[in-house]
Amino acid sequence: MIANPAPGQPAAVGSRPAAEAAVRVTGLRKRYGSVIALGGVELTVERGEFFTLLGPSGSGKTTLLRLIAGFEQPDAGQIELGGRIVTRVPPYARNVNTVFQDYALFPHMTVAENIEYALRVRRMPKPERQERASQALEMVRLSGLGRRKTGQLSGGQRQRVALARAIVNEPQVLLLDEPLGALDLKLRQEMQLELQHVQREVGITFIYVTHDQEEALSMSDRIAILNQGHIEQVGAPIEVYERPRTAFVAGFIGISNLIERAGRQITVRPEKIRLLADDEQPPAGSVVETGQLRDVVYVGVLTRYVIDLDAGGELVVARQNEEAPALTPGVQGSRVRIAWRDDQAFTVSSGPGPDPGQQGQGHDGTGPGHEER
């Protein structure tokens, strides 16, 4: 039965103590020939979390999912599911399901047969099987399509079948590898909302892979940012966006906006920087720099200004288009002054730091340049 779990009580947790993390990965390494796909990954995913692995192509996202699912064996390290060590346990004996990017549906079967398949293999009696399948179909809003062949469905509908097929098993953890990658933008956005909704409803822990930063920010409880087989930072969407710890995270989530001042790499988000009018006084406690406007990019809701700074480097400033664009400043080549609040600038390291829990540091603005607090 796909029941609504009580608040804070994820479904299908068996008899394991509630305090155990859904997934705990320690020292996980995987190499393919000379390629280090994972170079010592540490990760804890809590029960009922919507957890996202975000990173560029080749960063190791799929490898990490396949190791958690048991399709691959690590060279070193350990994987725990709900407190149980499963590193050498075969996939079918792990309480985990995977939704693949290509959905991997059985084309000769109907929608209902696809969804019931795993239950049939487990020899669940037919009436119960059908009941569960129809509940799952309802959850993904496909009621009434159970008799269709999967070849007669749209991309979004196939995606929903794949999801229903996975949740009907009530796995402890559901792994989703770019499940929306094949859909167009509009459908993708719709499905993002529905996936979140389904996840909240069933309470299953989701580990969701994407390389789309907006998708990650809008859907997740927490995000891990992967780069070349390493986790650079783990945190809530607000943390990783507002307090990127490394240059890579700053650049991968949003516009990187990195400058070097006093021997440090500093990042400031574009919307935190103010383009000052000619006679405007900068707000107290802000850093002011001067430069030359190089580019003006109108993108509808806002305009981006690319500024070459006199002190070296460039910054992008984003400004909401409250006025018609013709009324906003924007003559290329003109001299500009910009200001940002001192506590909105963060020192970032150039690689993954030693402590994933530690956040970026603000600047106290007492000295020249940008001192770490």
Ligand X SMILES: Nc1ncnc2c1ncn2[C@@H]1O[C@H](COP(=O)(O)OP(=O)(O)OP(=O)(O)O)[C@@H](O)[C@H]1O
Contact residues: Mg ion, CB under 5 A: 62
Q: Which is nearer to ligand X, 63 or 267 (CB)?
A: 63
Element (H, E) at 347: strand 345-348
Element (H, E) at 250: helix 247-252
In whole angstroms, what is the distance from residue 180 CA to residue 11 CA? 24
Q: Which does 59 bind (CB under 5 to 8 A by kind): ligand X, Mg ion, none?
A: ligand X
Using rule CB under 6 A, residue 62 touches ligand X: yes
Among residues 55, 171, 203, 254, the one that binds ligand X under rule CB under 6 A: 55
Of 10-18, 52-60, 256-264, 360-368, which segment contacts ligand X by CB under 6 A?
A: 52-60
Of 61-69, 102-110, 162-170, 199-207, which segment contacts ligand X by CB under 6 A?
A: 61-69
Q: Would you say 253 and 268 are in contact if contact means Cβ atoms under 8 Å apart?
A: no
Using rule CB under 6 A, residue 32 touches ligand X: yes
Q: Which does 58 bind (CB under 5 to 8 A by kind): ligand X, Mg ion, none?
A: ligand X
Q: Which does 366 bind (CB under 5 to 8 A by kind): Mg ion, ligand X, none?
A: none
Among residues 37, 54, 163, 183, the one that binds ligand X under rule CB under 6 A: 37
The string over 261-288, giving b where at least 16 C-beta atoms fall within 10 Å of a residue's C-beta and e elsewhere, is beebbbbbbbbbbbbbeeeeeeeeebbe
In whole angstroms, what is the distance from residue 254 CA to residue 277 CA? 26
What's the closest the beta carbon of residue 150 comes to ligand X, in angstroms?
A: 24
Among residues 57, 185, 278, 357, the one that binds ligand X under rule CB under 6 A: 57
Among residues 52, 59, 172, 192, the one that binds ligand X under rule CB under 6 A: 59
- Torsion of the alpha carbons at 210, 82, 128 and 4, rounded to the nearest 10: -70
Q: Which is nearer to ligand X, 62 or 150 (CB)?
A: 62
Return the ∠ at Cα 269 (arms to 264 and 273), rounded to 5°: 100
Angle, helix 126-139 to helix 111-121, in steps of 10 degrees: 130
> Based on C-alpha coordinates, what's the Rg of the chain?
24
In whole angstroms, what is the distance from residue 361 CA to residue 86 CA? 38
The token duo for 56 is 């560029």
What's the closest the beta carbon of residue 211 comes to ligand X, in angstroms?
A: 5
Using rule CB under 6 A, residue 230 touches ligand X: no
What's the closest the beta carbon of residue 79 comes to ligand X, in angstroms?
A: 15
Q: What is the DSSP string of 44-104?
A: EE-TT-EEEEE--TTSSHHHHHHHHHTSS--SEEEEEETTEE-TTS-GGGSSEEEE-TT--
Q: Which does 306 bind (CB under 5 to 8 A by kind): Mg ion, ligand X, none?
A: none
Q: Which is nearer to ligand X, 58 or 313 (CB)?
A: 58
Return the ∠ at Cα 213 (arms to 308 and 62), rounded to 5°: 130
Using rule CB under 6 A, residue 77 touches ligand X: no
Using rule CB under 6 A, residue 54 touches ligand X: no
Q: In the window 136-165, what residues touch ligand X (CB under 6 A)? A: none
Of 55-63, 164-172, 325-333, 350-358, which segment contacts ligand X by CB under 6 A?
A: 55-63
The footprint of ligand X (CB under 6 A) covers 32, 35, 37, 55, 57-63, 211
